[in-house]
Amino acid sequence: MNKITFSQAIEGYALYFHARHLSQNTFNDYFNTFNKFQDFLGDDPPIDRITSKDIEAFLAAQDHLANKTLLNYHTGLSALWTWCVKEEMVGDHIVQKVDRPKPEQPEVQPYSEQDVRTLLKALKKSKIYLRPGMKESTNTLQTANRNRAIILLLLDTGVRSSELCQLLIHHTDMKNREIIVMGKGNKERILPFCARTGQAIWRYLASRRDDSVDDFLFVTEAQNPFDRHYLRRMLSRIGKRAGVKRVGVHRFRHTFAINYLRNGGDPFSLQRLLGHSTMEMVKRYLNIVQADLTKNHKLASPVDNWRL
């Protein structure tokens, strides 16, 4: 029997992946990793001849990349080898023998209230521009209602970018003010939103009355579904107009989480709302909130202020 090559294993894993109806974003990430690894190998060896040393050398050759990206590569290859072991294509899970790259701890930098108000104020008009012989001018933007609904929903729920892009109109329950999102691992969760966010979504949808409930909730000017890259570029442009630096989806997620805890929400509910499988990230948010409390106590302490 002919040995199964690496490329053949990838083809089989693709069929397995789609049969399980897993996330398209995860599929894209995994198969980007597989393609990079095959380019690194330089040929198409039998998969049972690939060793842990090959995996280590591949990761070591990516020293220009962040550890978070290297961890994603490790995760993708590990998923492939888990399937190969199950299908008895290989006898050993070589990726498990390679240490997982430890990602750098990203800085948690939430938006301030003023940041958000400035962003919302920048939605209606384009940047000021000059034409020869004319006064300064701006354009009225037709996307203002859509972008306001997006920003408020991100801020109000902490939803991930991929989850927001996958929302359909019927995933939004305006009566009960809830959205149904499909998170990592195809885990569904229900996220509440407030009346102001609901009003912003309603105002945006009012301009799309002919659309089906099975259409995407947020669409581009060309009526195409959003993707993560379009969303990132859109928010970046709004940030530049507003003069707010580092505008992105994850900062809205951080802002939601920290304010949830500051305003009395419990960490276990927050974990469920964010769709985290562990408490690791929630603990980081708790540390930030505790630092806030310590700072505020110093400002408010009568013993300290009265020099008793």
Q: Which residues are catalytic?
A: 160, 184, 250, 253, 276, 285
Q: Give the class (CATH, top level) of 113-251.
A: mainly alpha
Q: What kind of fold does domain 6-97 have according to CATH?
A: DNA polymerase; domain 1 (1.10.150)
Between strands 188-192 and 178-182, the pairing is: antiparallel
Is residue 136 helix, strand or coil?
coil
pLDDT, tens digit, 9 for 90 and up, residues 232-267 = 999 999 999 999 999 999 999 999 999 998 888 888
Torsion region of 42: left, alpha or beta (phi above 0 gives left; psi -120 to 50 gives alpha)? left
% of the chain with per-residue pLDDT over 90: 59
Which tokens hold the place of 85? 């072991």
Q: With contact defined as beta carbons under 8 Å apart, do 13 and 26 qualify? A: no
State pLDDT tens for residues 146-173.
999 999 999 999 999 999 999 999 999 9
Question: CB within 8 A of 17, min separation 6: which ones?
Answer: 27, 30
Residue 288's pLDDT is what?
A: 82
Does pLDDT of 142 surpass 80? yes
**Spans of all domains in the chain:** 6-97, 113-251
Residue 296, pLDDT score: 65
What are the structure tokens assigned to 37, written together? 């690894």
* C-alpha distances in Å from residue 304, one per residue of 46, 116, 290, 295: 71, 34, 19, 13
Which pTM value belongs to this model? 0.70
